[in-house]
Structure 1
Amino acid sequence: MDIAVKHRRTIIDRKLLVEAIEAFAEGEGNVDVLRPKLVQALKTALAEGRAECRRRLEADNASGRETAAGLCYLVDQVIRVLHDFTVTHVYPLQNPTAGERLDLIALGGYGRGELAPGSDVDLLFLLPYKETPWHEQVIEYMLYLLWDLGLKVGHATRSVDDCIRLAKQDNTIATALLEMRWLWGDQALYAELKDRFGRDVVNGHGAAFAEAKLKERDERHRRLGDSRYTVEPNLKEGKGGLRDLHTLWWIAKFVHRVDDAAQLVDKGVLSADEYRRFVKAENFLWDVRCHLHFLTGRPEERLTFDVQPELARRLGYTDHAGTKGVERFMKHYFLFAKDVGVLTRIFCANLEEEARRKPSRLKLLALSRRAKSVEGFLVEGGRIGVTAENQFELAPIDMIRLFEVAQRHELDVHPHALHLITRNLKRIDAALRNDPAANALFLTILTSRKDPETALRRLNEAGVFGRFVPDFGRVVAQMQYDMYHVYTVDEHTIRAIGVLAEIERGILGEDLPLATDIIHKILSRRVLFCAVMIHDIAKGRGGDHSVIGAEVAQRLCPRLGLSAAETETVAWLVRHHLAMSNTAFKRDLSDPKTVHDFADLVQSPERLRLLAVLTVADIRAVGPGIWNGWKGQLLRGLYYETEPLLSGGHASAPKERLNRAKADIGARLKDWKPAEVEAFLRRHAESYLVSTDPACAERHARLMREADREEAPLTLSTRTDRFRCVTEVTLYTADHPGLFARVTGAISVCGASIVDAKIFTTNDGMALDVFTLQDADGGPFDRPERLAKLSTTIEQVLMGRVRPREVLEGRAVPSKRTMNFKVAPRVLIDNNASTRLTVIEVNGRDRAGLLFELTRAIFALNLTIRSAHIATYGERAVDVFYVSDLFGHKIRHGGKLKAIERRLIEVLAPPPPAEAADAAAKPPAKRSAATR
């Protein structure tokens, strides 16, 4: 475990430092005058030593562990010099007694000889008995001076008896002492403590210590999300991070009494290959950690989006073969984190085996009686294992069958079995992949009604999933460098399958009513589960993952035992798995052509059901907070509009739809005179009457009549729909050019997020605009004070008292996290998506005020916005506008279309490098999805 520090004197030369301090100490007898000189000398030595360690890391390619060892050596020498100066010049003892001895002991990571650039220095001031006045003076002087040097010192002052007593009571103290290292002082005290610690604390307590540390680890994992595959992981405390390796090392040191991890090979705990994986994982994590601390200038442990690209560059990862360097770097991180999980299981298996060897014959007999054989496997204590050490060598198919049996009998998998699988993964070869029995077992696991998510995650953690399905193995630990996807591709896929199983069991009926209803009408469960497994399998290959994924489906599904018809359906679903969400979230569902085009793509009710459930599971598994009621409502709306077209029904003729819409609205206004109803209907265009829900039209009618009676210049009405997680704001006022742009500006100023907008103009020149809003967290924008501010702001903007552009300019600074993402500006203009209007889709990096700038630009181009659909995917803004010219027609002139594209690209373009650099220096503004 120890790392030798090379060329130590270039980091710090203690002899020269002592000579310099002694030189000015001899000429000055006043210790108060000496103190500032001592601080300056030690501070300079620390700064120069840290600079040398950083130079070696960044310029000479020194490893992270070499850097940590160098920093540890540097601090060692400073503390030793300080100690000698204190007891020689400040508080000297002429005739010290036996009770006035003092040892300096390094604890924790510092005791292990590893000190990250931002780590604390943990010190134990070890006394023979109780603390004396001299001890108190020396320790206080040293601590204050160490703090003056800028070191973060965690310290304790204890006698040997205190240490032993407290270590027996507290595992944290026992763990710290486990890695104690003599630093300076009376070495006899250290020897006494180490001897007593081994005899009184460690001896006979290995099992209890191991259990406590593993429980502590599990609690830490739960606190941090219990997944090693989140795209902004904590490399120290997170699952698969350094702390997990430390936990294994602490248990090994406590149970097996080793001082070096290499000794675990001799004891049979780890194989030589497993030890190499341990060292490689530790070295990689330390490389990343040291670069991260120096990069951020603080003890940062999270690999956030803003630091990942620079870390990748420093560690030598470059873009190639369609993959970003930062994605390759993070993939390696996740693979190492996965290795840590494998090593943990192996280690636990050995601990259990060790425990089995120690009990008496009577206890072993009882254990053997509790064990039973199930389908060729041994089951003991609710966990399934092997009957022989060479079981997987003789029957490689058992590496898959084990998980199927465990899933069917609802058993956990024994760590020892996982250990043996790890050592036999190479036996999962082409012959096994093409074995019909093996494929049938895998398909059974995938489509089981008994928790397929857990079974597949175990398969993946063991390495079996990626070996048996090599295309899936390519996306194991594959991250997507964006702010939308929370998990790696493999973790997202397994979670999506879990969502599918929960939908089928009815667990999510309240949140996902449509999917819960139609999943039981699907004719082929195998098609659905296979499509979910394959839908993202081609990510990271440089092309369209939907197209490449469909090709993978054509190859893989027959191998798994699906028929030609099933294979074709799976391939279609993978090819078009984004079609339903793109249509629902980006297109105007009140436009009949939108639904007809979607129905032409889907072609059958079965495909519609399959695609709807796949889409819901996919979005739900992206990450916390991604799914909401608004998205659910849009998908349900598209489904219910499309289903009649695919089930033998037909779209009503325009005249029939118009007459039915008028009748439905009139039925809701029974308390109105027939002339009043007719007058309301005459005020609106046919498109409004046909596309507006009768209940909404009724609300609009009553709002408009009340506003007209009161002659109110501006009327605002708000309504919160908690199921859809939105607040609907209806604005009624006299129409005028640029109204929509000004209102979007006012909404942006108030921090609301516009997810949809409908713009109507009555035949008598009044604007009836309906905005669907959410807050920055995806919930309804419904707090009374916010709605009051919104109403006031809209009024002030329309009166010219508030200029949104000026207010939003101060917020247009992207956060450091957002600035690291490159989103190529793109404008798509489609004249075929709607029968009446031109559809403009814009894609760009989200920033404060973007939606306002886009709508202002569209107004300046003499276009009228008829409806808008607004979405944000992490750092990416995707906004769709249905527009017409001033006469209500589509824009068809080629020159005009190019001018629109050119102007909107200018709005979407990121700020120049100089502005971006200035922005990075400013504190990041709180981001709101509202300000697109």
Structure 2
Amino acid sequence: MSLPRPASPRAIIHRKALTTRLNQVAIAAREAGRPVRAPVLEVLKEALAEGRAEVRRRFLDQEGSGAAVCAGNTYLFDQLLRTLHDVVVTHQVPKQTRTTGEKVAVLALGGYGRGEMMPYSDIDLLFVLPYRATPYSEQVVESMLYVLWDLGLKVGHATRSVDECLRQARADMTIRTSLLEARYIWGEPDLFEALKGRLYTKVIAGTGTEFLEAKLAERNQRHERLGDSRYVLEPNVKEGKGGLRDLHTLFWIARYLYQVSDVDDLVGLGVLTETAARTFTRARAFLWTVRCHLHYLGDRAEERITFDVQTPIAERMGYRDRPGARGVERFMKHYFLVARDVGTLTRIFLAVLEEQQKRRPLMTLAGLGARRRHLKGFVLDNGRLAVPGAETFATDPRAMLRLFLVAHDQGLSIHPDTLRQVTEALARVKTLRDDPAANAMFLDMLTHRKDPDVLLRGLSEAGVFGRFIPDFGRVTAQMQYDMYHVYTTDEHTVRAIGLLSRIESGALRDRLPVASDAVQTVQSRRALYVAVLLHDIAKGRDGDHSVLGAEIAVTLCPRLGLDEEETETVSWLVRHHLDMSRVAFRRDVDDPRTIANFADLVQSPERLKLLLVLTCADIMAVGPGIWNNWKAALLRELYYRTDEHLTGGHAAEAQDLRVARRKDALREVLTDLPAARVEAFLGLGYPGYWLTFDTETHARHARVVVAAEDAARPGAEALALETRVDTARGVTEVLVYATDHAGLFRDIAGAMALAGASIVDAKIYTLNNGMALDTFTVQSAEGKVLDQPARLARLKATVERVMLGSVDLRAELARKAPRLPARTEGFQVPPRVLFHLDASTTHTVIEVNGRDRSGFLYSVTDALTDLNLQIASARVNTYGERVVDVFYVKDVFGLQVTHPTKLRQIKMDLMKAITRQALESRRRAPVVREADRARRRAGRAAE
């Protein structure tokens, strides 16, 4: 197997000159009576460092490609190993004559065998012997390995005879795969030839089906382990769906079945077209380049394209900002399109394999059992849906839509060759856009009663969806560069449609009882599904995507067959699809103005229901862990109160009745407490408190309050602190019960920051006995759950010491400079301070936006306290790297702040506070990064 040579290879490593130098130092050492190994190691270290530096310089300075890095690194290690082998057998383990049993061949396996040597790839070696190991061959192998280890290399190695290699290959598919791409480096070539020849005749022959199924099953398990989506926003370039390992799998199969050494060989065999082979080569080259950047940026073998490296990689690869799309978003879109190309290649490849191998189906997506009379012009081929002829799509373009609908209805998978024909006929989809029958069929697919997301995802994977709805094509593979959204826009949309279907079917009733009931009574079902389809359709454009999406709806809805009323509803829903969550999460629903303003926006119970269901589906589709009971409670309460307002107070269940029901439920649970103590607790909370939390939480609060009051010494203030780890959400809840006073919120926030906890949510309630009952949802600074007993104990102790006044909080925080989590450093969030003067008639509503970091909330609340403002309630929302904190405040006299001069002072002081902290974080970031790198280097040196 020959590999491409790098340009000017001797500038990377000059083997003849290196061999001469090694011989010189080895002879000098032997003549002086010193061990040969030490001087040899020093020369090889120098050659390795210079070679790596040259490969890196070419890549970074000359806009090199990943293919060039692979070729350069492979050539470098080949020459190093050859010279090392020769110096070992000549100087370290010299022997004039060797028997047949003492011969050794050095082979490369894995990525090294393929010539895919990334900057920090491991080196996989196989030392092949003719028979069992001899003392001499053991000495040669050990001498080479010791030098390689001392060079700081990670070496995977095995020493086996030819017979042992074959025996293990028969028993282990992983070993068989590694031998499949074994490459001769040095030593006895006859051993390599014997191994390769016998591998194909004694192991591989007649086992193509077994290998094929094993590799496809292995691929499916890997996809499932990594989320089974190629559209996650921090993809794994090596193991993820659509990544390099998928290309490896295809080539392993081709090599196994056809004994080819290069992808171009598959063209001559008719397995791939020239176009498909070019796609394979381009995809591999792109992924190689991305992976090289990952290694060089991290100074280690990193395979995941995390947020912190996406921007520098985009910049290095030449992706520039354009109107409506940042360079990093353009880079990631290219990545996801390449990942989709890999999926298309898989379908094409498997279709041809099945045809050539004349075997049973390679992929089965669903059960069989459809009858021919239901196939609407299609046929069954080995149990899969197929077109009757090569000209089907040319004579009947609608068949490209009908194919997916019939397959879905009948529970059939689509024949890979038919999917290949769909790919080749995509240009014909354009003719269907103005076809009423085609649009009606698409609307049936969108509003399908059974798993419309599965149907639409297949349509999208095949490229038909984006061609039929060009605006959807524009958001295909479109990412949003933030830490809040987990999927690309198209994948998020398809997931939201699937969630809407599950809400409608009642499958999510346990998590969304109100939305599940509301959707059953809506009059505009089709409009709701189309609104979910279009709610993010204008993302990535220059402007407000809600406004632009509403404009698209006005044009697209009539094309899909919606009437004027439905079109208006869709346009309104798209325009306002973020408003319900904004009000619920950033406004105090106990304030009558909040409800009045939102009711004025919604105007009708029908729109309220539609917006609730759309909002729930949208948030749940953002990613795992985004939806929680707190968000559900806030949306539910906003829905109920707005419904009351719209219906003149005659809602199905009025507020006072809901509060009474919550209290009755709590009485039934708290049977272990004296009835008088229970009634005393029931009299403490305001309606907002009772309607926000569930009965289990109310019971926990009641026990904490009762215990705190019992434990308080006469004349002393009650104080309680409880932590609860929520592993399902990956957060820790900290409940604080203390006397309310000015600066309480600030002190708690500062204590959390001091203890290394990041507040992601806060619920602030002042009870009518003057006590505060505050719940803080926290994570570690790294964004992980705080569940270690020692850290929880330190957190609790820190908060208690701050509450008791035994800590100089400002001085301690000044010594603890704020730090950004490493993977989020690339994000920039401009700080903003906004006043919503029409949001309340009794309070001033202040919204603070900024870059989330440790101590952010303390900086804001400290400034508010210094301004003599009383925080009556707060909403703390974290959207990935962005924090949005909303405070309802009054002045020191309990009055709303409205004077322009005072408002300007508030804004100026808040901007100073958050800007000062942001500057300190950026100042500290390079120091932290260098410290992290130093720790990694020290760790590698220790290994």
The two structures have a TM-score, normalised by structure 2, of 0.89
Of 887, 895, 902, 2:893 maps to 887
Partners of 2:382 and 2:400 in 1: CA distance: 20
Helix, strand or coil for the counterpart of 1:474? helix
2:337 alignment partner in structure 1? 335
Residues 523-555 of structure 1, C-alpha deviations (whole Å, 9 max, x = no match):
222111111111111111121111111111111
Partners of 2:535 and 2:17 in 1: CA distance: 65
Residue identity matched to 1:918: V
User: Does the 8 A contact of 1:831 with 1:890 survive in 2?
Assistant: no
Residue correspondence of structure 1 range 145-156 to structure 2 within 5 A: 145-156=147-158
Residue identity matched to 1:905: M
1:914 alignment partner in structure 2? 923
User: How much has 1:135 moved relative to structure 2?
Assistant: 0.6
Residue identity matched to 2:779: A
Residue correspondence of structure 1 range 454-493 to structure 2 within 5 A: 454-493=454-493
Quick check: 233-242 or 753-762, which moved more? 753-762
Helix, strand or coil for the counterpart of 1:129? coil
1:829 alignment partner in structure 2? 835
2:25 alignment partner in structure 1? 24
1:432 alignment partner in structure 2? 432
Residue identity matched to 1:21: L
Residue correspondence of structure 1 range 390-469 to structure 2 within 5 A: 390-429=391-430, 431-469=431-469
2:96 alignment partner in structure 1? 94
Helix, strand or coil for the counterpart of 2:100? coil
Of 320, 328, 344, 2:322 maps to 320
Shift in alpha-carbon separation, 1:191–1:677, aligned structure 2, 3 A: closer
User: Percent same amino acid at aligned positions?
Assistant: 51
Residue identity matched to 2:576: H
1:928 alignment partner in structure 2? none
Helix, strand or coil for the counterpart of 2:101? coil
Shift in alpha-carbon separation, 1:709–1:94, aligned structure 2, 3 A: closer
User: Does the 8 A contact of 2:663 with 2:682 survive in 1?
Assistant: no
Residues 444-502 of structure 1, C-alpha deviations (whole Å, 9 max, x = no match):
11110111111111111111111111101111111111111111111111111111111
> Is 1:744 matched up with 2:746?
no
Shift in alpha-carbon separation, 1:707–1:768, aligned structure 2, 3 A: farther
> Is 1:799 matched up with 2:804?
yes
Shift in alpha-carbon separation, 1:319–1:701, aligned structure 2, 3 A: closer
User: How much has 1:916 moved relative to structure 2?
Assistant: 3.2
Residues 310-333 of structure 1, C-alpha deviations (whole Å, 9 max, x = no match):
111111111121311111111111
Shift in alpha-carbon separation, 1:811–1:459, aligned structure 2, 3 A: farther
Partners of 1:634 and 1:369 in 2: CA distance: 46
User: Does the 8 A contact of 1:719 with 1:729 survive in 2?
Assistant: yes
Residue correspondence of structure 1 range 292-307 to structure 2 within 5 A: 292-307=294-309
Shift in alpha-carbon separation, 1:276–1:840, aligned structure 2, 3 A: same
Partners of 1:462 and 1:56 in 2: CA distance: 38
Helix, strand or coil for the counterpart of 2:308? coil
Shift in alpha-carbon separation, 1:665–1:560, aligned structure 2, 3 A: closer
Shift in alpha-carbon separation, 1:220–1:668, aligned structure 2, 3 A: closer
User: Does the 8 A contact of 1:774 with 1:780 survive in 2?
Assistant: no
> Is 1:581 matched up with 2:581?
yes
Shift in alpha-carbon separation, 1:116–1:754, aligned structure 2, 3 A: closer
Count residues with an aligned counterpart.
903
2:716 alignment partner in structure 1? 712
Shift in alpha-carbon separation, 1:783–1:889, aligned structure 2, 3 A: farther
Quick check: 72-81 or 789-798, which moved more? 789-798
Residue identity matched to 1:436: P
Shift in alpha-carbon separation, 1:164–1:737, aligned structure 2, 3 A: closer
User: How much has 1:163 moved relative to structure 2?
Assistant: 1.7
User: How much has 1:807 moved relative to structure 2?
Assistant: 4.4
Shift in alpha-carbon separation, 1:191–1:705, aligned structure 2, 3 A: closer
Residues 677-707 of structure 1, C-alpha deviations (whole Å, 9 max, x = no match):
99999xx9xxx85655499899699899879
User: How much has 1:784 moved relative to structure 2?
Assistant: 9.7
1:601 alignment partner in structure 2? 601
Helix, strand or coil for the counterpart of 2:118? coil
User: Does the 8 A contact of 1:808 with 1:848 survive in 2?
Assistant: no
User: Does the 8 A contact of 2:877 with 2:885 survive in 1?
Assistant: yes
Residue identity matched to 1:713: E
Residue identity matched to 2:826: N
Residue correspondence of structure 1 range 505-904 to structure 2 within 5 A: 505-649=505-649, 693=690, 710-716=714-720, 729=735, 731-733=737-739, 736-749=741-754, 751=757, 753=759, 755-758=761-764, 760=766, 767-776=770-779, 793-809=798-814, 810=816, 812-904=818-910
Residue identity matched to 1:753: I
Of 248, 261, 264, 2:263 maps to 261
Quick check: 700-709 or 418-427, which moved more? 700-709
Quick check: 441-450 or 409-418, which moved more? 409-418
Residues 121-170 of structure 1, C-alpha deviations (whole Å, 9 max, x = no match):
11111111221111111111111111111222211112222222221221
Partners of 2:193 and 2:680 in 1: CA distance: 99
Residues 571-598 of structure 1, C-alpha deviations (whole Å, 9 max, x = no match):
1111101111100000001001101111
User: Does the 8 A contact of 1:726 with 1:779 survive in 2?
Assistant: no
Shift in alpha-carbon separation, 1:706–1:63, aligned structure 2, 3 A: closer
Partners of 2:370 and 2:641 in 1: CA distance: 62
The two structures have a TM-score, normalised by structure 1, of 0.90
Partners of 2:877 and 2:265 in 1: CA distance: 56
User: How much has 1:556 moved relative to structure 2?
Assistant: 1.1
User: How much has 1:731 moved relative to structure 2?
Assistant: 3.0
User: Does the 8 A contact of 1:752 with 1:773 survive in 2?
Assistant: no
Of 39, 43, 46, 1:44 maps to 46
2:939 alignment partner in structure 1? none
1:209 alignment partner in structure 2? 211
2:937 alignment partner in structure 1? none
Partners of 1:680 and 1:378 in 2: CA distance: 68
User: How much has 1:28 moved relative to structure 2?
Assistant: 3.5
User: How much has 1:745 moved relative to structure 2?
Assistant: 2.7
Shift in alpha-carbon separation, 1:84–1:758, aligned structure 2, 3 A: closer
User: How much has 1:94 moved relative to structure 2?
Assistant: 2.0
Residues 250-279 of structure 1, C-alpha deviations (whole Å, 9 max, x = no match):
101111221211121222222211111111
Residues 82-133 of structure 1, C-alpha deviations (whole Å, 9 max, x = no match):
1111111222222322222221112222122221111111111111122111
Unaligned runs of 5+ in 1: 360-366, 925-932
User: How much has 1:774 moved relative to structure 2?
Assistant: 2.5
Shift in alpha-carbon separation, 1:120–1:32, aligned structure 2, 3 A: farther
Of 133, 136, 139, 1:131 maps to 133
User: Does the 8 A contact of 1:207 with 1:255 survive in 2?
Assistant: no
User: Does the 8 A contact of 2:767 with 2:773 survive in 1?
Assistant: no
Partners of 1:62 and 1:513 in 2: CA distance: 56
Partners of 2:761 and 2:610 in 1: CA distance: 26
Partners of 1:663 and 1:124 in 2: CA distance: 72
Residues 336-368 of structure 1, C-alpha deviations (whole Å, 9 max, x = no match):
011001101111111211232799xxxxxxx99
User: Does the 8 A contact of 1:731 with 1:767 survive in 2?
Assistant: no
User: Does the 8 A contact of 1:384 with 1:413 survive in 2?
Assistant: yes
Shift in alpha-carbon separation, 1:721–1:177, aligned structure 2, 3 A: closer
Residues 172-222 of structure 1, C-alpha deviations (whole Å, 9 max, x = no match):
111111112211122122222222122222222222211111111111111
Residue identity matched to 2:878: T
